[in-house]
């Protein structure tokens, strides 16, 4: 018996969904064409764009007709139903959020913002054996990342400085090369400050050399703090086009306690440190700033006690002091009214801190900077869930930007906010202090503040981005869409549409409702998959948005691949409504 398979790959274009037809009919009074003034009314009433003028609408009409008709001189100046549908389904002309528009107040201290932060920014792959390079740093800056982390070590003959993940097999890259690449690309996407966090493993001689490299490279771009310890951090607006250095100020240097001997610290001693900070032993690998130390150690050192000249110049560059005071977690979270500092915790240490000291963490982050970094066992450069850190006001939620996965999609989504400039102002509830000194309690039971309704109409464009046999060898794909919320625990929810079989342009027309208790930090997750009966479902695109940035109305939602690169054509038509 012979079984023959006939491949069916013909793409049938789907027409406008019923809602689009009804809206077109309503705003044209049943006419065949929509004028610019009628389009303006639609933009104001349905799309929530009350500032749109008739001139704005005329420009949209001209853009869509030029795009569709491909002629220089237009013979008509109104939209047909198909034109109107094409406009709504255009990710360039009708995106779901305001793109490239910085609209947050940028005049508050840096501690008032979530900051797009990289972890081990120089690694090209895994944490143990990948190459170190300036290329991942450049890529991160071009995406809008504002905090670059460099681990700096002496080279093999101790006369120069390399960047590498210490005590691993990663191949080094020269420190100066990283600095030059940062200078060249720092403000290619955003004018707001770039912070370089240094994990310093240098001798005093090399600290002096590092300082000179930094000064010579960045020149007037470099921000020098007005005093040794700032009482309050400057604002992103004040620091436009500036480079900021953050690290732990240097202590006394004793040759008997060289980097090598430090590396031979006993596992028992390491575990003792871990007990204090809730860290795993692997978290301590090359995280020098997280060793148990105090800023006061440095302030007690006189210039005479420093082993080498030039270290003062290095100290002078440090605008945001890092380090942990001696004592337990409660001590580390104390707020000094006279100075600001940066505290770093592993993801595990943060979890423990928020379980018992959640409100103390929030108090700390109202003035100081909290950096959270991946646990040391994430050798494959995976990432953790960032919401617990954002819920508690952590500014620097450090991620392996060279990795990929759902956690990184959330990070990309958060920093689509505020025009993608890399700084997102924290919501007021994280900064407010009550009359009795009370702050937001993350464990409090909250009522629903806002409800988001999401309707998934249809999808298109996969036939242009993928080969005909990518999803199925013998038939068109069977797509479905997942829609959900990432946020505080009470807001987390995931829904999915029905599977549309054998169709490159699936039409769903399904609506979902998401009650939100903390909409300010909620993220809308969107994923498209292709159903596979016998194997794992195929991935077909994803995107994530801050709920607070969503524009109401009907919009074209672009899709991105697993690593966060935008697909050329694949997109969804969706409607967003707040009730």
Length of the chain: 579
Residue 11: pLDDT band (50, 70, 90) is: confident
- Chain position carrying tokens 């009370």: 438
Which class for 114: exposed (0-12), middle (13-18), buried (19 or more C-beta within 10 A)? buried
Same domain, yes or no: 223 and 297: yes
Please report whether residue 241 resides in a domain.
Answer: yes
CATH of residue 542's domain is: 2.60.40.150
Beta bridge partners of 511: 455
Pair (191, 75) in one structural domain: no
Parallel, antiparallel or unpaired: strands 194-200 and 147-154: parallel
**Same domain for 372 and 237:** yes
| Domain limit, last residue, from 58, 88, 118 | 88
Is the domain of 458 the same as that of 396? no
How many structural domains does the chain have? 3
| pLDDT in the model for residue 308 | 52
Q: In what order do the strands lie in the sheet with 553-560?
A: 493-496, 479-486, 523-530, 538-546, 553-560, 566-578, 450-460, 507-516
Same domain as 465, residue 393: no
Q: How far apart are CA 148 and CA 68, in angstroms?
A: 43
Q: Torsions phi, psi of 530, nearest 5?
A: -110, 120
**Do 161 and 57 reside in the same domain of the chain?**
no
Instruction: Extract the runs of DSSP E, i.e. beta strands, from 89-193.
Output: 113-115, 147-154, 161-163, 173-174
**Rounded Cα gap, residues 246 and 396, in angstroms:** 12
Helix (H) or strand (E) holding 246, with range, is strand 243-247
What range does the domain containing 464 cover? 450-578
CB 557 within 8 A of CB 575: no
Give the span between the Cα atoms of 175 and 154, in whole angstroms: 10
- Tell me the per-residue pLDDT of 228-286, one tens digit each, with 9 for 90 and over: 889 999 999 999 999 999 999 987 544 434 444 334 443 333 333 333 333 333 333 33
Instruction: Please write the tens of the pLDDT for every residue from 291-322.
Output: 433 333 443 444 444 455 578 989 999 999 99
Is 156 a domain residue? yes
With beta carbons less than 8 A apart as the criterion, state whether 146 and 116 touch: yes
- SS3 of 516-567: ECCHHHCEEEEEEEECCCCCCCEEEEEEEEEHHHCCCEEEEEEEECCCCCEE
pLDDT band at 327; cut points 50, 70, 90: confident
- Residue 6, domain member (yes or no): no
Average pLDDT score, the chain: 89
- For the annotated catalytic residues, the residue numbers are 119, 165
Q: What is the pLDDT of residue 70?
A: 74
Which pair of tokens denotes residue 155? 């080279």
pLDDT recorded at residue 274: 34
Asked if residue 547 is part of any domain, the answer here is: yes
Give yes or no for a contact between 467 and 440, defined as CB atoms under 8 angstroms apart: no
CA atoms within 13 A on the CB side of 506: 27
What pLDDT shows up at residue 68? 86
**Boundary (domain end) residue, out of 428, 460, 485:** 428
Query: Does residue 65 lie within any of the structural domains?
Result: yes
Last residue of a domain, one of 428, 463, 488: 428
Closest CA to 282 of 348, 344, 333: 348
DSSP bridge pairs for 479: 500, 530
Whether residues 379 and 276 share a domain: the answer is yes
Q: Does a structural domain hold residue 442?
A: no
The CATH number covering residue 59 comes to 1.10.238
User: Do residues 388 and 355 lie in contact, with contact meaning Cβ atoms separated by under 8 Å?
Assistant: no
- Are residue 378 and residue 495 in the same domain, yes or no? no
Asked if residue 227 and residue 178 are part of one domain, the reply reads yes
Tokens representing 555? Answer: 């919009």
Using DSSP's 3-state secondary structure scheme, residue 173 falls into: strand
Helical pair 36-45 and 18-28, crossing angle rounded to 10 deg: 120
Q: Which of 474, 485, 481 is nearest to 460 (CA)?
A: 481
Residues 396 and 472 reside in one and the same domain: no
Verify that 348 and 462 share a domain, yes or no.
no
pLDDT band for position 446 (50/70/90)? very high
CA distances from 374 to 164, 229, 250, 401, 472 (A): 17, 28, 25, 12, 37
Whether residue 532 lies inside any domain: the answer is yes
Contact 82, 33 (CB under 8 A): no
Which residue from 518, 516, 500 is spatially nearest to 508, judged by alpha carbons? 500
465 and 405 within one domain: no
Q: Contact, 60 vs 87, CB < 8 A?
A: yes
Query: Is the residue at 439 inside a domain?
Result: no
- The predicted-structure confidence for 464-496, as pLDDT tens digits, reads as follows 999 999 999 989 999 999 999 999 999 999 999
């Amino acid at each position: 018996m012979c079984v023959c398979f006939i491949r069916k790959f013909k793409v049938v274009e789907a027409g406008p969904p019923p809602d689009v037809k009804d809206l077109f009919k309503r705003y044209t009074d049943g006419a065949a064409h929509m004028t610019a003034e009628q389009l303006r009314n639609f933009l104001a009433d349905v799309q929530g764009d009350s500032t749109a003028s008739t001139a704005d609408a005329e420009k949209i009409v001209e853009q869509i007709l030029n795009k569709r008709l491909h002629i220089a001189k237009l013979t008509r100046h109104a939209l047909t139903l198909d034109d109107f549908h094409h406009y709504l389904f255009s990710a360039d002309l009708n995106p779901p959020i305001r793109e490239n528009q910085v609209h947050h107040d940028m005049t508050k201290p840096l501690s008032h913002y979530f900051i797009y932060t990289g972890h081990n920014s120089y690694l090209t792959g895994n944490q143990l054996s990948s190459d170190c390079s300036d290329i991942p740093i450049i890529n991160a800056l071009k995406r809008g990342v504002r905090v670059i982390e460099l681990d700096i070590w002496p080279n093999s003959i101790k006369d120069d400085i390399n960047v590498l993940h210490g005590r691993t097999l990663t191949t080094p890259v020269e420190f100066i090369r990283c600095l030059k690449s940062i200078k060249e690309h720092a403000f290619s996407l955003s004018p707001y400050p770039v912070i370089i966090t240094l994990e310093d493993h240098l001798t005093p001689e090399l600290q002096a050399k590092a300082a000179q490299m930094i000064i010579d490279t960045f020149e007037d771009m470099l921000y020098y703090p007005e005093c040794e310890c700032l009482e309050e951090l400057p604002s992103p607006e004040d620091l436009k086009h500036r480079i900021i250095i953050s690290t732990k100020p240097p202590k006394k240097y004793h040759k008997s306690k060289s980097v090598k001997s430090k590396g031979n610290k006993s596992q028992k001693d390491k575990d003792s440190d871990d007990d204090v900070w809730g860290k795993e032993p692997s978290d301590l690998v090359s995280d020098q700033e997280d060793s148990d130390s105090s800023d006061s150690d440095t302030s007690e050192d006189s210039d005479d006690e420093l082993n080498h000249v030039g270290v003062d110049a290095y100290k002078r560059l440090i605008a945001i002091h890092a380090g942990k005071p001696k004592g337990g977690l409660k001590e580390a979270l104390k707020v000094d009214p006279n100075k600001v500092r940066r505290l770093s915790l592993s993801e595990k240490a943060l979890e423990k801190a928020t379980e018992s000291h959640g409100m103390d963490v929030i108090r700390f982050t109202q003035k100081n900077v909290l950096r959270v970094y991946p646990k040391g066992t994430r050798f494959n450069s995976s990432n953790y869930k960032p919401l617990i850190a954002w819920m508690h006001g952590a500014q620097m939620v450090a991620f392996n930007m060279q990795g990929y996965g759902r956690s990184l999609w959330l990070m990309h989504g958060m920093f689509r906010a505020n025009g993608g400039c890399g700084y997102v102002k924290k919501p007021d509830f994280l900064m407010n202090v009550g009359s009795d000194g009370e702050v937001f309690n993350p464990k409090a039971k909250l009522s629903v503040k806002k409800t988001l309704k999401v309707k998934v109409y249809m999808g298109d464009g996969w036939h242009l981005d993928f080969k005909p046999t990518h999803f199925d060898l013998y038939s068109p794909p069977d797509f479905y869409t997942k829609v959900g919320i990432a946020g505080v625990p009470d807001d987390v929810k995931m829904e999915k549409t029905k599977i549309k079989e054998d169709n490159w342009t699936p039409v769903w027309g399904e609506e979902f409702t998401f009650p939100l208790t903390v909409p300010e930090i909620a993220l809308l997750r969107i994923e498209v998959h292709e159903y596979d009966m016998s194997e794992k479902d195929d991935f077909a695109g994803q995107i994530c948005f801050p709920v607070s940035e969503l524009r109401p109305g009907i919009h074209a939602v672009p899709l991105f691949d697993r690593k966060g690169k935008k697909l050329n054509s694949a997109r969804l038509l969706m409607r967003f409504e707040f009730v």
